[in-house]
Amino acid sequence: MKTSDFNFDLPAELLAEHPSEHRDEARLMVLNRKTETIEHKLFKDVVDYFDEKDLFIFNNTKVFPARLYGNKEKTGAKIEVFLLRELDKETRVWDVLVDPARKIRIGNKLFFTEDESLVAEVIDNTTSRGRTLRFLFDGSYDEFRTKLKELGETPLPKYIKRAVEPEDAERYQTIYAKIEGAVAAPTAGLHFSKHLMKKLEIKGIDFAEVTLHVGLGTFNPIEVEDLSKHKMESEEIIIDEKNADIINKAVDAHRRVCAVGTTTMRALETSVSSNKKISAFNGWTNKFIYPPHDFGVANSMITNFHTPKSTLLMMIAAFAGREFIMHAYEEAVKEQYKFYSYGDAMLIL
C-alpha cells in the first residue's frame, strides 16, 4: 500500500470550523461492510443499529488547554508554546512545540505573565519545532498546574483558522472525558450527548472505557510513499482489568462491539492478544494500522471524516476495505458532509 492510494480531492469549505449546533445532530453516514451499502442519517440515529448487551467502547481521555502564549526575554516577541507532555513533575520539565521556532534557542527565557510569576527556560532542542522547557514558578505543583490551565487555550487544530471561542472549552471535549492528558480531542466521541447516552443505556447497551492520550502525531502528515516506512508518534494507553473484562465478555458472547473513534481502536489493537483477548495495559503505543490488518476486538466503529493521506483514513480503510471507503468518501464530498475534528460522523458496521 502506498500513501498516494489514500488521496482524494477535499474542498476547503468542507473542513468544519464549528461543531454542529447540538452534539447528536451532526450528520451520520452509515456503511455496511457486508452489503457495501451507504445510508444517510443523523448521529442520534446510531441507537437504532444496536441491541441490548451490545457494547460501546469510549476513550475517556480529557483534553487540557495546551496552547500558551509567552514573550521572549529582551525582544518581547510573541511565541506560541504548545505543551506536548510533562517529562518531570518535580523539576517542571516539559516537551513542547514553539512557533516561530527560528527565534527560540537553548538558554532563551519566555515570560507568560506580566508579573513574571511564570517563566520558562529553553534547555534543549528536540525536533525542528520541538523544545524542552523548564518552567520556573514559585508555588506548589497543584498551583503550577492551575496557572497553566488559567493561561492555556483550548488546543483547536491548526486548520481551524478562527480564534478560539468560549464554547470550544466545552465542545472540544467529550461529555465523558475523565483523565487529563490529551492535546487533541478523540473527536468521534464529541457527538455523544447526555440525552443520547441515556437512550443507549435504556436500550440495555453496555459501555466500557479505555484511555489513550491523543498526541499531535494524529495530525502529522505522512512523508513517505511506502507506508511500511512511516513511524507513528507514541501515545500513552491505560486499560484497567475491569474494562478489559467487560470487553472480553462482549466479544465472547459475539455481541456487536463498537469502538468509538480511531484512538479507541488503536488502544484495543495494541492490547489484544493473539487469542483475541484484551489484557489490562499501561504503557505506550506507536502502532500504525493500515491495510491489510486483522482486527481482533471491535466489529463496528464510529469515526469522523478524515483528511486525504492521513493515518486515520488508512486505519478505517483497513477496517472497511480501501475501495469501499474511498467510494464512501467520494459520496461524502458530493453530499457536502463536514470533515475533520468538528465535522460529521461515520458508523461502519
Judgement on whether residues 108 and 16 belong to the same structural domain of the protein? no
Judgement on whether residues 171 and 240 belong to the same structural domain of the protein? yes
Detail the DSSP E strand segments found in the chain: 27-32, 37-42, 55-59, 61-63, 67-72, 78-88, 93-99, 109-111, 118-125, 130-137, 179-182, 206-213, 235-239, 257-260, 281-285, 300-304, 345-348
Judgement on whether residues 210 and 99 belong to the same structural domain of the protein? no
Q: Look up the pTM and report it.
A: 0.94
69 pLDDT band (50/70/90 cuts)?
Answer: very high
Whether the pLDDT of residue 219 is over 80: the answer is: no
Residue 262, domain extent: 1-61+167-346
Output the pLDDT for position 306: 96
Q: Are 203 and 52 in contact (CB under 8 A)?
A: yes
CATH of the domain at 311: 3.40.1780.10
pLDDT digits (tens, 9 = 90+) for 119-159: 999 999 987 789 999 999 999 999 999 999 999 999 999 88
Domain membership of residue 162 (yes or no) is no
Judgement on whether residues 51 and 93 belong to the same structural domain of the protein? no
pLDDT digits (tens, 9 = 90+) for 26-47: 999 999 999 999 999 999 999 9
Judgement on whether residues 180 and 317 belong to the same structural domain of the protein? yes
Output the pLDDT for position 32: 98
Domain membership of residue 208 (yes or no) is yes
Whether the pLDDT of residue 248 is over 90: the answer is: yes
Judgement on whether residues 28 and 135 belong to the same structural domain of the protein? no
Task: Please give the tally of structural domains in the chain.
Answer: 2
Could you tell me the CA-to-CA distances from 92 to 34, 50, 60, 132, 133 in Å, in that order?
Answer: 52, 46, 25, 10, 8
**b (16+ CB within 10 A) / e for 74-99:** eeeeebbbbbbeeeeeeebbbbbbbe
pLDDT digits (tens, 9 = 90+) for 290-344: 999 999 999 999 999 999 999 999 999 999 999 999 999 999 999 999 999 999 9
Whether the pLDDT of residue 176 is over 90: the answer is: yes
| Phi-psi region at 308: left, alpha or beta (left = phi > 0; alpha = psi -120 to 50) | beta
Q: Are 40 and 335 in contact (CB under 8 A)?
A: yes
User: How many Cα neighbours within 13 Å face the side chain of 209?
Assistant: 13
Q: End of a domain among 94, 116, 149?
A: 149
Judgement on whether residues 76 and 127 belong to the same structural domain of the protein? yes
Judgement on whether residues 43 and 118 belong to the same structural domain of the protein? no
The radius of gyration computed from the CA coordinates of the chain, to the nearest angstrom, equals 21
- Measured at the CA of 212, the angle between CA 118 and CA 243, to 5 degrees, comes to 130
For all residues of the chain together, what is the average pLDDT? 95
Judgement on whether residues 339 and 326 belong to the same structural domain of the protein? yes
Output the pLDDT for position 217: 77
Whether the pLDDT of residue 74 is over 90: the answer is: no
Q: Are 103 and 66 in contact (CB under 8 A)?
A: no
Judgement on whether residues 121 and 69 belong to the same structural domain of the protein? yes
Output the pLDDT for position 327: 98
